Amino acid sequence: METDSSHDGQLRGQPPRGTVTPLKASLLLGKAFVGTGVLFLPKAFMNGGILFSCLTLAFVAIICCIAFLMLVKVRLVVRESFQDIGLVLFGKYMRFAVLLSVALSQVGFCCAYLIFVSQNIDAVVQTFTKCTFHGIEQKYYILITLVILIPLVLIRRMSILSLPSMLANLFIIFGIVYLWYFSIHNLAENGVGPNITLFNRDDFALFIGTAVFSFEGIGLVIPITESMAEPEKFPRVLAITISVVAMIFMSVGALCYSSFGSNVQTIVVLNLPIKDGWTITVEILYSLAIILSVPLMLSPASKILEHGIFGAKSGALSTKVKMQKNVLRIALICVCALVSFGVGGPNLDKFVSFVGSVACMPLCFIFPAMFHYKACAKTLKAKIGDWIMGVVGIIAMVFTLYITIRSWVVVSAPDAAIDRCAAFA
């Protein structure tokens, strides 16, 4: 592979066109952005304040849209994957940095979602037993989910996982619609929740990391663009999709935070009435959605590790290599479970912010600006724009990371205590 000094050799003609329509491309992008992470947003809105959070989400959406379009332009010059664009333009260390960020982000997502599953399963168990069963501590449900996840992460054919992924998306949509309904109904019946703030000067930086975490889907931008029958329509598709996604994020965050106020939980479904059949349904479906999504989410990190350790060795040609790769995948999901076990539910919002700062900030802001500067920026205006985006990304990453680490060191108040079992008294 040639490095930056000879990246002209990477120039190609027009890329081959795919068959995906603009509507399907929009749905694929939406699927990349809207996941179970939307359930972290109401607590994140409390960290940021409702006005600051809405404005920040809109700003992050715009910046992400610009960064994604930058990457698409770079791809027209350097016909490679995201990580190999880094190799061509800046050398092997940049490729490693991109791969590391991708792996950390995907592993971070899985860890956060396993914590979510443990809290949901515990809530479901308490509902069905009317809070009479206390034999398993909440965090141990993380380990129980491994019984299901270990066989799933061994599946390598993405086509096999397409149906589970589709079901997961339907479950997530159902949950979002119910959250809209319940929040609006609760506001109409009981009014605004307690202690709503427009700006939370103590914890606002935690929201920035969570906002970037929510929009991290840059790894799918190039594949989706290439799969389109009319790739020239991608900018319009991207702008519309991100606008809709931002509205969904803002509506869920603002409505739920307004409804529950300072009582909002890190995972907002825990604020829903425990005896309500719809609540139980949402909790079960969201848990299933995450369990079905984890294999796809962990796949990029698994492939990165397998390539780094085994190189071009194929499990199809060697049973020994296949078994070793299986052991690696099992070890990876076990590491995710152990990290989730250590982080625990009370620190979930901080962990999400940490992943957003360390892994998602470079992927969304810094790397696209660097690549565009090297490959495409010909005018002074374009170069200044790339510099501004890159510097702002670095400052935001360092600042939010500092605040997130400080929030772990300086113990803050836990989630507001809600006695869900009082409903069975």
57's tokens: 């989400």
CATH number of the domain to which 315 belongs: 1.20.1740.10
Mean pLDDT of 215-238: 78
Residue 283 lies in a domain: yes
d(CA 367, CA 82): 9
Residue 9 lies in a domain: no
Report, in angstroms and rounded to the nearest whole number, the Rg of the chain calculated over CA atoms: 22
d(CA 275, CA 420): 9
d(CA 242, CA 58): 10
d(CA 343, CA 251): 28
Q: What phi-psi label fits residue 417: left (phi over 0), alpha (psi between -120 and 50 degrees) or beta?
A: beta
pLDDT in tens, 247-258: 999 999 999 999
Exposure string of 353-388, with b = 16+ CB inside 10 Å and e = fewer, is bbbbbbbbbbbbbbbbbbbbbbbbbeeeeeeebbee
d(CA 339, CA 121): 18
pLDDT of residue 121: 87
Residue 291 makes CB contacts below 8 A (sequence gap 6+) with 117, 145, 148, 149, 152
Judge whether residue 7 has pLDDT over 50. no
pLDDT of residue 417: 63
d(CA 71, CA 371): 7
Residue 406 lies in a domain: yes
Domain that holds residue 79: 15-424
d(CA 203, CA 35): 24
Judge whether residue 4 has pLDDT over 80. no
HSE (side-chain half, CA atoms, 13 Å) at 310: 23
Q: Are 37 and 214 in contact (CB under 8 A)?
A: yes
pLDDT over 90, % of the chain: 23
Measure the N-to-C terminal CA separation of the chain; round to a whole number of Å: 68
How far, CA to CA in Å, does 245 sit from each of 204, 267, 364, 407?
21, 19, 16, 29
Considering its fold, how many domains does the chain have in total? 1
pLDDT of residue 219: 66
- Residue 327 CB neighbours (<10 A): 10
The band of 279, judged by pLDDT with boundaries at 50, 70 and 90, is confident
Amino acid at 226: E
Residue 2 lies in a domain: no
User: Quick one: how many helices (H) and strands (E) in the chain?
Assistant: 16, 0
Q: Are 205 and 348 in contact (CB under 8 A)?
A: no
Residue 392 lies in a domain: yes
How far, CA to CA in Å, does 7 sit from each of 3, 29, 222, 320, 387?
6, 29, 19, 38, 21
Residue closest to 353 by CA, chosen among 9, 40, 55: 40
C-alpha angle with apex 179: 33 to 214, nearest 5 degrees?
20
Judge whether residue 363 has pLDDT over 70. yes
pLDDT in tens, 321-330: 888 888 989 9
Residue 418 lies in a domain: yes
Residue closest to 227 by CA, chosen among 72, 395, 4: 72
What average pLDDT does the chain have?
A: 82
Residue 7 lies in a domain: no
Q: At what angle do helices 41-48 and 234-260 cross, to 10 degrees?
A: 70
Mean pLDDT of 380-397: 92
H or E stretch covering 287: helix 277-310
Q: Are 337 and 143 in contact (CB under 8 A)?
A: yes
Residue 1 lies in a domain: no
Residue closest to 42 by CA, chosen among 261, 218, 189, 232: 261
d(CA 361, CA 397): 6
357's tokens: 């700062």
The band of 380, judged by pLDDT with boundaries at 50, 70 and 90, is very high
HSE (side-chain half, CA atoms, 13 Å) at 176: 23
* Range scoring the smallest mean pLDDT among 45-49, 353-357, 404-408: 404-408
Judge whether residue 413 has pLDDT over 70. no
Query: DSSP for 182-194?
Result: HHHHHHHHH-SPT
Q: Are 228 and 25 in contact (CB under 8 A)?
A: yes
Exposure string of 270-297, with b = 16+ CB inside 10 Å and e = fewer, is bbbebeeeebbebbbbbbbbbbbbbbbb
Mean pLDDT of 170-176: 86
